[in-house]
Chains A and B, each alone.
Chain A
Amino acid sequence: MRKLPLALASLAAGSVAGPALAADLNVSVTLPRLNVAAYHRPYVAVWIERPDNTAVRTLAVWYEVSNVAEGKDWLKDMRTWWRRGGRSMTLPADGISSATKAPGTHAIRVPGARLSNLPAGDYVLVVEAARELGGREVVRVPFRWGAPNAGRASGSTELGAVAVTVTR
């Protein structure tokens, strides 16, 4: 009984120290509202690359998860992501895959703990969208891991603004 408060105290101290040390990666992705006859929400992949285009890690894949039989059939249409890592992944994947999103701005927060083995350095946050009966677009936002910084870029057809913020 006496030991319990001690254990709780050390846990609490640890959780305070955690966020102070770890940087978080915050990404916001805007899906534009498109005035087309047959609108289907896009498939979207978000991943980190090195400046030489080699993939480091997939952060998010939004696809028709609920369609167990056929939802994965169109993952390949996110061609760049598929080739740079998607085709080697098993989906659905906890913390990565989720359902497609409606037009609007969507936030992805990656806790520093999930990227604890990512060496400090220059990277590129890549977002790729592919839409049924629509097009495909890739937006790239360079960022630095290891110090607070921010970057943004914007798509012109299938994607709106993409913003990256590294907090410290």
Chain B
Amino acid sequence: MKKSLALLAALAALAVPMSAQAHRAWLAPTSTVLSGDEAWVGFDAGMSNGVFIADHAAMNLDGLVITGPDGATVQPENLHRARYRSSFDLHLTKPGTYRVANVMGGVVVAYTVDGTTRRWRGAEADIAANVPAGATNVAVTRSDSRVETFVTLGAPDTAALAPTGKGIELAPVTHPNDLVAGEPATFRLLRDGQPAAGLDVTIARGGTRYRDNPEEMTVTTAADGAFTVTWPEAGLYWINAAVRTPAADGQPAASAQYNGVMEVLP
């Protein structure tokens, strides 16, 4: 009983810095709907308070995975890390939809050693080598994060959107490259491949620097993980959902976060 209380306290301590550093992660494409036999799209990736406003931190793109229309992995080009944004290009040579995602997984371990609380972030297999044997109040949280966007050359298709079954993912009902202002769009959120019910989804449109009202929307996913949004106007939108599950049945606590970027055309 005492142990689980300590664990809860450690988790709570962990939760505070997480929410305090609430910078938003975004992966913004230069265009999303393309025509022609081949095309190039550039991407900027950063973390900041205002979505798509590169004024805080560049994103670590170690987890970058680009899936082409045929399901094969495509390599980025001209990868570059600037002060406030990381950027790269994608050469689209096949018609169809590409999923461009920065996927990070691992664990966060909070522990106390010599009276001080420390945190370590890394792969689950490396815990033993990195957390001292004498540590107390050890609290492990599995963490999955996905930051992604979609681009389509020619007609949209869905082969690249097949779920991987890990973390929070977005399954299309409406295709993410077929969005028009004034129309409703429906998507389903999955967690580890299963419908993610009851998640709060934040929907924010870029360009907040040029208006006074953030104009954010919040919707909640239904039992099948679905949510519907009617786009109030054209623009680049950021879609976020996060979930945290306490430790139970011998499994460590788990957190998962989704950050999608979609373009809505007029």
Q: Point out residues on A near B: beta carbons under 8 Å.
A: 70, 72-76, 79, 82-83, 86-88
Task: Select one of B35, B156, B178, B266 contacting A72, CB under 8 A.
Answer: B35
Question: Are A76 and B155 closer than 8 Å at their CB atoms?
Answer: no
Could you tell me if A76 and B35 are in contact, using CB atoms closer than 8 angstroms?
yes
Contact B37 A88 (CB under 8 A): no
Please tell me if the beta carbons of B37 and A79 are within 8 angstroms of each other in the complex: no
Task: Provide the residues of chain B in CB contact with A87, threshold 8 Å.
Answer: 35, 154-156
Contact A72 B155 (CB under 8 A): no
Contacting pair B265 A75 (CB below 8 A) = no
For residue B33, CB closer than 8 A to chain A, the reply is yes
Confirm or deny: B39 has a beta carbon within 8 angstroms of a beta carbon on chain A.
yes
Count residues on chain B whose CB falls below 8 Å from chain A CBs: 13
With a cutoff of 8 Å between Cβ atoms, the chain A residues found around residue B266 in the complex are 79
Q: Mark B21-54, 1 if CB is under 8 A from A, else 0.
A: 0000000000001111101000000000000000
Minimal Cβ-Cβ distance residue in A for B31: A76
- Residues A76 and B37 in contact, CB atoms below 8 Å apart: no
Determine which residue in A70, A83, A86 has the highest number of CB atoms from chain B within 10 A of its CB, and name it.
Answer: A83
Chain B window 139-159, contacts with chain A (Cβ cutoff 8 Å), 1 for yes, 0 for no = 000000000000000111000
Inter-chain CB contacts under 8 Å: number: 28
Judging by beta carbons under 8 Å apart, are B39 and A73 in contact? yes
Complex: A70 Cα to B178 Cα, angstroms: 23
Q: How distant is B265 from chain A, measured CB to nearest CB, in Å?
A: 6
Are A83 and B35 in contact, with the CB atoms below 8 A? no
> Cβ of B178 and Cβ of A83 under 8 Å apart?
yes
B122 CB to closest chain A CB (Å) equals 43
Interface residue B180 (Cβ < 8 Å from any Cβ of A):
yes
Contact present for A83 and B180 (CB under 8 Å): yes
Q: Are B35 and A74 in contact (CB under 8 A)?
A: yes
Complex: A87 Cα to B175 Cα, angstroms: 14
**Secondary structure at chain B's binding surface: helix, strand, loop or mixed?**
loop
Q: Whole-angstrom distance between the alpha carbons of A10 and B266 in the complex?
A: 55
> Does the CB pair A73–B35 fall under 8 Å?
yes
Task: List, in ascending order, chain B residues with CB within 8 A of A83's CB.
Answer: 178, 180
Min CB gap A97→B, angstroms: 13
Using Cβ atoms and an 8 Å threshold, which residues of chain B touch A72? 35-37
Encode contact with A along B111-133: 1 for CB under 8 Å, 0 otherwise.
Answer: 00000000000000000000000
* Assembly CA distance A84 to B155 (angstroms): 10
Which 5 A-B residue pairs are closest in the complex by CB-CB distance? A76-B35, A75-B35, A72-B36, A73-B36, A87-B155
Question: How long is the Cα–Cα vector from A89 to B151 in the complex, in angstroms?
Answer: 18
B53 CB, min distance to chain A CBs, angstroms: 26
Q: How far is the CA of A6 from the CA of B123 in the complex (A)?
A: 87
- Asked if A79 meets B265 with Cβ closer than 8 Å, knowing A87-B154, A87-B155, A88-B155, the reply is yes
A46 to chain B, nearest CB (A): 17
21 examples of A-B residue contacts, CB within 8 angstroms = A70-B36, A72-B35, A73-B34, A73-B36, A74-B35, A76-B33, A76-B34, A76-B35, A79-B33, A79-B265, A79-B266, A82-B33, A82-B35, A83-B178, A86-B35, A87-B35, A87-B154, A87-B155, A87-B156, A88-B154, A88-B155
Nearest opposing residue in chain A for B180, CB measure? A83
How far apart are A114's CB and chain B's nearest CB, in angstroms? 24
- The CA-CA distance from A70 to B156 in the complex, in Å, is 20
CA gap between A114 and B72 in the complex, in Å: 41
Q: Closest CB of chain B to A16's CB: distance in Å?
A: 43
**In the complex, residue of chain B having the shortest beta-carbon distance to the beta carbon of A79:** B265
Interface centre among A70, A72, A73, A76 (most CB of B within 10 A): A76
Are A75 and B36 closer than 8 Å at their CB atoms? Answer: yes
Q: How far is the CA of A55 from the CA of B193 in the complex (A)?
A: 35
**In the bound complex, how far is the Cα of B32 from the Cα of A79, in angstroms?**
12
**Residues 238-266 (chain B) with a chain A CB within 8 angstroms:** 265-266
**Contact residues in B for A75 (Cβ distance below 8 Å):** 35-36
Q: Other than the known A74-B35, A86-B35, A87-B154, what 4 A-B pairs have Cβ atoms closer than 8 Å?
A: A73-B34, A73-B36, A75-B35, A87-B155
B183: min CB distance to chain A, Å? 10
**Hey, which chain B residues are within 8 Å of A70, CB to CB?**
36
